Amino acid sequence: MTLRQKLFSLAVLYAMSCIVFAQHLPKDVAVIARSATLLDSFAGKFLYEKAADERCFPASTTKILTALVVIEAGGLDQQVVAAAPDTNVEPTIIGLRPGDVYTRRELLYSLMLKSANDAALALARANAGSVPEFCRRMNIRARALGAESSNFVNPHGLHHPSHYSTAKDLALITRAALELPAFREIVSSPYHLWRQPDGQPAQLVNRNRLLTHYPGCTGVKTGFTRRAGQVLVSSALRDGVELISVVLNTTNTGIWKDSETLLDAGFEISSKTQRSGVNTNIVSSSQP
């Protein structure tokens, strides 16, 4: 057999293996979300896309990037003194008052578990001196990660027509954030003990229900505004595979059902890949 014949035979065998494996991909993956994606975090490969490049409002999943920028800057045990502008925000807050003192780490827990918008402003100001400068840093970091279809004008995700992202961009940002041990520790915590200004303890409860309802869930962040709808970036780790699911503009039930559907399908694909040794193909949904 000549070299050309050998190469041709190998190409045919590879193509056939891909076709055979493709038949095992879930054909009925359906999500309510307007936009969604599933990323194999360790491999860096997208396994599912539905309007994944469409601009959507990210709501509080914005805080994933906020936390990423803050954590990468270091000094998480440095104290932050709350200022009056930090408290001028609603509706979800931790209740900061001018003069309150917390470490960056403590504020990050309130940011990611409670989804506190006042904590987002305090962290932004402490990191960059002002919110506009912090947002400039957010956009620079996002583009460095390949998230080039996003624009962030605040650190909390409250609605603004110029504040947008995509499912794929949020997956890329989350992938980088999960490489940080401090971020991973925070977003995987179902609860955290919070010290109120008067010294009394209070418990922060993580809004991500998948942490306690989906086996292997490792984070990361919920979000909602009337314009954004329900949004969720979630991650789960099983058998050495970590998947990142992003669902944007879904419903009150879809936020959980969509995410579980994508993660279940992804782990099924990964399990078959490990057994067969064949690479998976991207599943793309054209459903409305």
Do residues 135 and 126 make contact, with C-beta atoms less than 8 angstroms apart? no
Q: Is 45 a catalytic residue?
A: no
Determine which one of 110, 115, 165, 234 is catalytic: 115
Active site residue 63: yes
Question: DSSP strand E in the chain: where?
Answer: 35-40, 45-50, 79-81, 101-103, 191-195, 201-205, 217-225, 229-238, 241-250, 283-284
Residue of 214, 206, 254, 223 whose CA lies nearest to 50: 254
Of the candidates 63, 114, 168, 221, the residue annotated as catalytic is 63
DSSP string of 73-112, one letter each residue = H--TTSEEE--GGGGS--SS-----TT-EEEHHHHHHIII
60 annotated active-site: yes
In the chain, count of helices (H) and strands (E)?
9, 10
How far is the C-alpha of 272 from the C-alpha of 269, rounded, in Å? 5
Rounded to whole angstroms, the maximal C-alpha distance in the chain is 82
Q: Which of 35, 41, 50, 60 is catalytic?
A: 60
Looking at the annotation, which residues are catalytic?
60, 63, 115
